[in-house]
Structure 1
Amino acid sequence: MNDTAHALGSAPTLWELVRRRAELTPGRRVFLQDDRALTFGELHDRAERVAAGLYGLGVRPGTVVAWQLPTRIETALLSFALARLGAVQTPVIPFYRDREVGFALRQARAEYFAVPGRWRGFDHTAMARRLGAKGIFEAYDGLPDGDPDVLPPPPAEGTSVRWIYWTSGPTSDPKGVLHTDRSLIAGGACLAHALRPTAGDVGSIAFPYAHIGGPDYAVMLLLYGFPAVLFEQFALPGALEGYRRHGVTIAGGSTAFYSMFLAEQRKQPGARLIPTLRLLAGGGAPKPPEVHHAVVREMGVQLTHGYGMTEVPMITMRAPDDTEENLATTEGRPPEGMEIRIVEGEVRLRGEAVCKGYLDPGQTAEAFDEDGFLRTGDLGCLTGTGHLVLTGRRKDVIIRKGENISAKEIEDLLHRHPAVGDVAVIGLPDPERGERVCAVVEQPSGAQELTLAAVTSYLRAEGLSVHKLPEQLEVVDALPRGETLRKVLKYKLRERYSGTVK
């Protein structure tokens, strides 16, 4: 991190970081969307006016404000305005509906709820009323406005809990994850340190700003003083025009985003998909080595993938100057201040970017060990160079006849097969074996249909042990995915195929 970014990163609060950047480079752009642009100076001044408008509505330091908004300049302004006030904000992913939203509002005890009105065919205002939400107001094109002279002083410290993020809850209710300004600044600083952007870069936020990656990325913009293009809806090839028009140099999001870019690149091999692009970066889901190699080979850009979660927005990140092997096969190294401990194969974490726990004190007690390390549930190991290698999730370990089998190991091998576009390997209940190995495959268009015999023959040739070979193959048009970072929802596959026997 350069000296200026390091000095900015020492800001005690997110709002202080905004103030310092606005003083340093007020005319430099921070957010771009369609034909609109917002500078760092405008971000500061307009966020203060929005904060004053919120103050007029009754929002005070410590007031809990929920917001469920798409990725827009207005969303970023509202979030920074709440940070200026010192309110407690709880972002909710725009695709969540009554069950998840109602749970979040009740658990956080939200006193206000900002919604986009009708968005993408769904009436969020009607849902909010149906749920009995308090203080409902729409914040899509317009935002509350007022005179900043009425505002109280901004928060002086960044160690109080002022953010409640929500983990996805596929088979149970979501967890409310507690963050502070300092933990979010630490996460964004980790990301910036790994990617090493410059003021000449143009980034992109194509995922929901309500995701933990929203402030993570925004902190990086504030530290280095470069802009990002916001995409309210991400779909290819439609979004390519925005990347090209604004000269995006850093794109990404997660493994699914890389695969979508790669699929578009393959429609016009030899031509640069985004002429200015130099780096794809992201995290949030495993990245098979073959995806890395294909992106570098076919798109002609670097790919640096990281490891993070709602509880710890940035844990490790591959760096552009890592070796090709480390870029392809590891999650990178932790930044200064992030401690990683491997206990019985599980990755455990301690550092400033780690959350303060959960809304439920019982969940907090279960999540942290006696030394204050967060139990991640991920399995991995550290190499001699300090790089982290993830080998799977505890719940992704398939136990067949008493033998542990890593789903990730099989998935990484199958990703190399030319007839495999994407794959998820799951364990299914089996009366004789305890669990059997099932591979669920999404094939690229035009590929020859796979058979179980062809899959097992291929894996044998790749050197996979016989006891790890899939005993069931399912070919699907599309794997079920989440709406945020497009992670494959394995629980849906387990539900779908648990009753099948082949």
Structure 2
Amino acid sequence: MDQTPHRLSSSRTLWELLESRARLGPDRPLFLQDDRVLTLGAFRARAERVAAGLHGMGVRPGTVVAWQLPTRIETALLSFALARLGAVQTPLIPFLRDREVGFALRESKAEYFAVPGVWRGFDHTEMARRLGARGVFEAYDDLPEGDPAVLPAPPADGTDVRWIHWTSGTTSDPKGVLHTDRSLIAGGSCLAHALRPTAADVGSIAFPYAHIGGPDYTVMLLLYGFPAVLFERFAMPEALEGYRAHGVTIAGGSTAFYSMFLAEQRKRPDTPVVPSLRLLAGGGAPKPPELYHAVVREMGVRLTHGYGMTEVPMITMGDPDDSAENLATTEGRPPEGMEIRIVDGEVRLRGEAVCRGYLDPAQTAEAFDEEGFLRTGDLGRLTGTGHLVLTGRLKDVIIRKGENISAKEIEDLLHRHPDIADVAVIGLPDADRGELVCAVAEQPPGARELTLDALTSHLRAEGLSVHKLPERLEVVDALPRGETLRKVLKYKLRERYSGTVK
């Protein structure tokens, strides 16, 4: 049985992976949501009926189908039904609105668009009609079904582009990222083999299933044969009931999720917030070392953090049995088959999990170097043991009086300050210095008033060079965050403060 996950990871397509796992344990649960349980066998059978229903609507191999749906069992069913047909699917995060959705529909040339109707007070069907979307149908509770006898053979080639995922588009139009079944299986395999779950585990998907992490995480479930709880809406402390009721053992999503669990734990320090929990895992945003130590110390669970992006869903992942130093200060090591090269400080990647490029050929040409390595825009270094340390973003380097300053270095030190709950460091235009260093901080409840003098005194005590000290401090109730993995949106902070002088 130990070799089963590795054999399954050689599956050519996602549908083949599902069929293989369903044959091994058809009665084992795959998805749990509220009081619903869907087994592997039932999931496979119903996904095939939904594929037949979609076929009856006119969806064929290669048909582009967009969907903007919340994290639900029905969403996973629709996605695998499209995989069974060999359609090209383009998932959209449910929180996107007219500008981003309209752009994605036009660029992908979507022929069908599945929406949830009215969800969380917003009418997605009306937006779709307003945008002139084709083939609009609602797929929240009810999915089209039919007789699987009408279906063509499942796709056999996992190297065709069948996925168009979208980058966040924080400062310009989003990019359509092209993936294959094989690239998604490779990414999910990295996550799965690094975390080494067992069939006794219970995972959780508390982020949008439309995120690249949706198929990534589902691949892990299928490789190791364990279920996950789906959360249509994640909010603390309300979500804790679901974690406890289903006995979740592996939770997480990103750095913000770790912080939310830790905040709940601190309300009752002597009682485990989720008694069954043994591991927090995730990626998608920088992890301050102090947060790692606080989670392990106060929650009594392991924490492993990884590095991924829409273009490469999983690049490196921490090993639960690694040293505390490596787990706190690195992003883990890459799996076999992922090549990492550092060029002028930039992390570049080549391997099966790397996307095929972008919908726009010009963007593809710009993103890959002459040897086929993807330029990530992230700065980092490899240690002697092969662990990756990220040091910032190419666009997140502050240039003050000609000197490069890493925003991440300052942020990691500020996370150790007792009166700071979270912080973002940005560069702001300055006539004399080129850029000045500005720290924007959230404070925890009951904290003392934070001043610039107190902040710089802390950084001096931590040994930070004088030329890197912030010259400006802004205290906010909440940092602006994205809706998917709750990453801080620094561009919004730059927009807010670039035009003001202090």
Q: TM-score w.r.t. structure 2 length?
A: 1.00
Partner Cα separation in structure 1 for residue 112 and residue 141 of structure 2: 18
1:97 aligns with 2:72: no
Give the CA deviation at 1:501: 1.9
Summarize deviations over 1:323-348 as a string: whole Å, max 9, x none. Answer: 00000000000000000000000000
Give the CA deviation at 1:24: 0.6
CA RMSD of aligned residues (A): 0.6
Partner Cα separation in structure 1 for residue 43 and residue 246 of structure 2: 19
Q: Give 3-state SS (helix, strand or coil) of 2:267's partner.
A: coil
1:285 aligns with 2:285: yes
Moved more, 107-116 or 1-10: 1-10
Identity among equivalent positions (%) equals 84
Q: Which residue of 1 aligns with 2:464?
A: 464
Supply the AA of the counterpart residue of 1:477. Answer: D
Summarize deviations over 1:12-52 as a string: whole Å, max 9, x none. Answer: 00000011111110000000000001001011100000000
Counterparts of 1:210-289 in structure 2, within 5 Å, are: 210-289=210-289
Structure 2 alignment gaps of length 5 or more: none
Q: Which residue of 2 aligns with 1:12?
A: 12
Summarize deviations over 1:50-88 as a string: whole Å, max 9, x none. Answer: 000000000000000000000000000000000000000
Partner Cα separation in structure 1 for residue 490 and residue 449 of structure 2: 22
Partner Cα separation in structure 2 for residue 9 and residue 358 of structure 1: 25
Summarize deviations over 1:67-126 as a string: whole Å, max 9, x none. Answer: 000000000000000000000000000000000000000000000000000000000000
Q: Give 3-state SS (helix, strand or coil) of 1:30's partner.
A: strand
Give the CA deviation at 1:2: 3.0
Structure 1 alignment gaps of length 5 or more: none
1:295 aligns with 2:302: no
Give the CA deviation at 1:148: 0.1
Partner Cα separation in structure 1 for residue 321 and residue 257 of structure 2: 22
Q: Give 3-state SS (helix, strand or coil) of 1:140's partner.
A: coil
Q: TM-score w.r.t. structure 1 length?
A: 1.00
Partner Cα separation in structure 1 for residue 391 and residue 413 of structure 2: 13
Give the CA deviation at 1:374: 0.1
Partner Cα separation in structure 1 for residue 399 and residue 148 of structure 2: 60
1:160 aligns with 2:160: yes
Give the CA deviation at 1:438: 0.1
Partner Cα separation in structure 1 for residue 188 and residue 2 of structure 2: 14
Q: Which residue of 1 aligns with 2:376?
A: 376
Give the CA deviation at 1:430: 0.2
1:335 aligns with 2:335: yes
Partner Cα separation in structure 1 for residue 461 and residue 368 of structure 2: 42
Counterparts of 1:337-486 in structure 2, within 5 Å, are: 337-486=337-486
Partner Cα separation in structure 1 for residue 271 and residue 181 of structure 2: 43
Counterparts of 1:127-142 in structure 2, within 5 Å, are: 127-142=127-142
Partner Cα separation in structure 1 for residue 199 and residue 106 of structure 2: 42
Give the CA deviation at 1:8: 0.8
Supply the AA of the counterpart residue of 1:385. Answer: T
Q: Give 3-state SS (helix, strand or coil) of 1:126's partner.
A: helix
Supply the AA of the counterpart residue of 1:230. Answer: L
Partner Cα separation in structure 1 for residue 375 and residue 302 of structure 2: 31
Give the CA deviation at 1:499: 1.3
Give the CA deviation at 1:500: 1.8
Counterparts of 1:311-330 in structure 2, within 5 Å, are: 311-330=311-330
Partner Cα separation in structure 2 for residue 9 and residue 348 of structure 1: 24
Partner Cα separation in structure 2 for residue 169 and residue 183 of structure 1: 22
Partner Cα separation in structure 2 for residue 424 and residue 164 of structure 1: 31
Q: Give 3-state SS (helix, strand or coil) of 1:84's partner.
A: helix
Partner Cα separation in structure 2 for residue 339 and residue 361 of structure 1: 23
Supply the AA of the counterpart residue of 2:488. Answer: V
Partner Cα separation in structure 1 for residue 19 and residue 318 of structure 2: 30
1:53 aligns with 2:53: yes
Q: Give 3-state SS (helix, strand or coil) of 1:55's partner.
A: helix
Supply the AA of the counterpart residue of 1:136. Answer: V
Give the CA deviation at 1:229: 0.1
Q: Give 3-state SS (helix, strand or coil) of 1:27's partner.
A: coil
Counterparts of 1:104-115 in structure 2, within 5 Å, are: 104-115=104-115
Q: Give 3-state SS (helix, strand or coil) of 1:141's partner.
A: coil
Supply the AA of the counterpart residue of 2:378. Answer: D
Partner Cα separation in structure 1 for residue 376 and residue 42 of structure 2: 39
Partner Cα separation in structure 2 for residue 161 and residue 449 of structure 1: 53
